[in-house]
A = this chain, B = another copy of it.
Amino acid sequence: MAIIVDKAQKRRDIALASKALILEKGIQNLTIAAIAKNAGIGKGTFYEYFKSKEALLFELVEILMHAHNVRIEAELELAERTADKIKIFADFFYDAKSSELRELYKMFTGISLLSPQKEMTAFQTECFDYYYTWFEKIIEEGIISQELKPVTRQMTGAIFATAKGMFIISQTTERNRDLKHEIHSYVDTLMALLAYEGEER
Contacts and interface: CB of A to CB of B under 8 A. Distances in A.
Interface string A103-138: 000110111111110001110110111001000000
B168 A166 contact: no
A145 interface: no
A154 B185 contact: yes
A53 interface: no
Number of copies: 4
A199 B189 CA distance: 16
A152 B120 CA distance: 37
Interface stretch (A11-19, A67-75, A80-88, A155-163): A155-163
Nearest to A166: B161
Contacts of A190: 155, 158
Interface residues of A, number: 60
Contact of A149 (B150, B194, B201): B201
Contacts of A42: 2
A167 B182 CA distance: 20
Interface centre among A149, A162, A169, A174 (most CB of B within 10 A): A162
B168 A168 contact: yes
A125 B176 CA distance: 10
Contacts of A176: 157, 161
Interface of A: 2, 26-29, 42, 106-107, 109-116, 120-122, 124-125, 127-129, 132, 149-151, 154-155, 157-158, 160-169, 171-176, 182, 185-186, 189-190, 192-194, 198-201
Given A109-B113, A165-B167, A198-B199, 10 more contacts: A28-B114, A29-B115, A127-B173, A128-B169, A128-B175, A151-B192, A151-B201, A158-B162, A161-B161, A161-B164
What 3 A-B pairs come out closest when comparing CB atoms?
A165-B165, A161-B165, A110-B113
